[in-house]
Homo-oligomer: A and B are copies of this chain.
Amino acid sequence: MQEAGSVGIVETKYLTFAEPPNEMVLECGRPLGPITLAYETYGELNQAKDNAILIVHALSGDAHAAGYHHPGDKQPGWWDIMIGPGKAFDTRKYFVICCNVIGGCQGSTGPSSINPQTGRPYGLSFPIVTVRDWVNTQKVLIDHLGIEQLLCVAGGSSGGMQVLQWVVSYPDRVRLAIPIATTSKLSAQAIAFNEVGRQAIQSDPNWREGDYYGKMVPRRGLAIARMIGHITYLSERSMHQKFGRKLQDKTVYGYNFLTDFQVESYLRYKGDHFVKRFDANSYLYITKAMDYFDLTQAYGSLEEAFAGVQAKFLVISFSSDWLFPTYQSKEIVSALRRVDAYVIFTEIQTDYGHDAFLLESEQLSSLITNFLSHGWNQKA
């Protein structure tokens, strides 16, 4: 067996639809159009068009899930450890698709896009989008690619929310579903962290009610939001193991308000780095979509939400994930079992916290490879 490899150089593609006057009506009731989706594909769609896997990304992700954008590119796509020849989402076998969510800032229509009615960036005039809207736009892409039924939809965190919404909204369009480190509804604590992040952005004077394009961007506010997020993605134990109380470039306390500890330096770096690649308004829109996600509220109960599901499920949680704790995955599993869905559930033992869905490649790969093979062979 050849070693697991890279999909190599890849290109982001774009699909535009919902051109006026045929705008898409969003869950909030407002129309949006035209809508552009940035997406990438890896591997080949087979003749039967039954080997397609949709990967759905989390808050800060994008369409670039695997491979490199140019020969000098040092940073592969965000789930490169999972997607490629010989990897869990094996591109020798499967046709893998990933697209950027609307409201985002990596090529899909969002608050930084030009509002065709004004010729200026939408800013806060962009309508609120929801997980259901994300899935509805993805469905347009899947239709466009001529795929009747996805072999699989998979994703972690708010990607997992999209997986759940897919099987609920389009039950006959998904054979296998892999929701990872996710929930059927965001907890009060997670809403609270999102809200504080939004407050940090909105308190930055450069935010200007979202109308900052072409001017100074609210980088301090966005960096703070990202720092808060980062703490919640790691477990207390992993922070202890990674940083402990180690000092940054010094052997004794500085007795000032500059950086003393490595963990401070790490957070500042992460915050500053994020600002270079992410739009503050998109952070507002995407966290709001997460907050609003609640299958129980939307369908009356989790059982009612899942009543018509046809997919088979591999539900995965991580033992040290305190942002999307295992009990939330178990709620999903219980509800699925009550409607007689086929469900495999695994809690992976790890210290990595919520970020484990981006890091625990070995355990994830073994689980996902088996689950996909099984589903694939049953199809064949």
Contact of A322 among B198, B200, B322 (CB under 8 A): B322
The residue on B at minimum CB distance from A30 is: B255
Asked if B188 and A203 make an inter-chain contact with CB atoms under 8 angstroms apart, the answer reads no
Of the candidates A186, A239, A257, A263, the one having the most CB atoms from chain B within 10 angstroms of its own CB is A257
Q: Which stretch from A50-58, A87-95, A114-122, A288-296 is at the chain B interface?
A: A288-296
Contact of A191 among B128, B203, B264 (CB under 8 A): B264
Of the candidates A196, A242, A253, A322, the one having the most CB atoms from chain B within 10 angstroms of its own CB is A196
Min CB distance A265 to B, Å, is: 9
Contact of A188 among B191, B263, B291 (CB under 8 A): B263
The residue on B at minimum CB distance from A292 is: B253
Chain A contact-residue range equals: 35 or more
Contacts of A204 in B (CB 8 A): 203
Asked if A291 and B261 make an inter-chain contact with CB atoms under 8 angstroms apart, the answer reads yes
A193: Cβ under 8 A from any B Cβ: yes
A187: Cβ under 8 A from any B Cβ: yes
A220: Cβ under 8 A from any B Cβ: yes
Asked if B192 and A263 make an inter-chain contact with CB atoms under 8 angstroms apart, the answer reads yes
A124: Cβ under 8 A from any B Cβ: yes
The residue on B at minimum CB distance from A240 is: B188
A365: Cβ under 8 A from any B Cβ: no
Asked if A294 and B245 make an inter-chain contact with CB atoms under 8 angstroms apart, the answer reads yes
Dominant secondary structure at the A interface: helix
Asked if B203 and A261 make an inter-chain contact with CB atoms under 8 angstroms apart, the answer reads no
A64: Cβ under 8 A from any B Cβ: no
The residue on B at minimum CB distance from A268 is: B199
Contacts of A366 in B (CB 8 A): none
Asked if A263 and B224 make an inter-chain contact with CB atoms under 8 angstroms apart, the answer reads no
A228: Cβ under 8 A from any B Cβ: yes
Asked if B188 and A243 make an inter-chain contact with CB atoms under 8 angstroms apart, the answer reads yes
* Contact A267-B192, Cβ < 8 Å, known A202-B257, A240-B187, A291-B260: yes
Per-position binary interface string of chain A over residues 234-274, scored 1 when its CB falls under 8 Å from any chain B CB and 0 otherwise = 10100110111100000001011100110110011001000
A339: Cβ under 8 A from any B Cβ: no
Of the candidates A260, A263, A284, A294, the one having the most CB atoms from chain B within 10 angstroms of its own CB is A263
Contacts of A253 in B (CB 8 A): 28, 292
Report Cα–Cα, A228/B192, bound state, in Å.
9
> A residues 291-324 with Cβ under 8 Å of B?
291-292, 294, 297, 322
Asked if A245 and B203 make an inter-chain contact with CB atoms under 8 angstroms apart, the answer reads no
A84: Cβ under 8 A from any B Cβ: no
Asked if B195 and A224 make an inter-chain contact with CB atoms under 8 angstroms apart, the answer reads no
A residues with CB within 8 A of B? 28-30, 124, 127-128, 185-189, 191-193, 195-196, 198-200, 202-205, 220-221, 223-224, 227-228, 231, 234, 236, 239-240, 242-245, 253, 255-257, 260-261, 263-264, 267-268, 271, 284, 288, 291-292, 294, 297, 322, 325
Could you show 28 A-B contacts with beta carbons less than 8 Å apart?
Answer: A28-B255, A124-B257, A185-B245, A187-B240, A188-B239, A188-B240, A189-B236, A191-B261, A191-B264, A192-B227, A193-B231, A195-B263, A195-B267, A196-B228, A199-B220, A199-B223, A199-B268, A199-B271, A200-B200, A200-B224, A202-B257, A203-B220, A203-B224, A205-B205, A224-B224, A236-B322, A257-B288, A322-B322
Extra pairs beyond A127-B255, A186-B245, A191-B263 (7, CB < 8 Å) = A124-B257, A187-B236, A187-B239, A189-B234, A196-B224, A253-B292, A257-B284
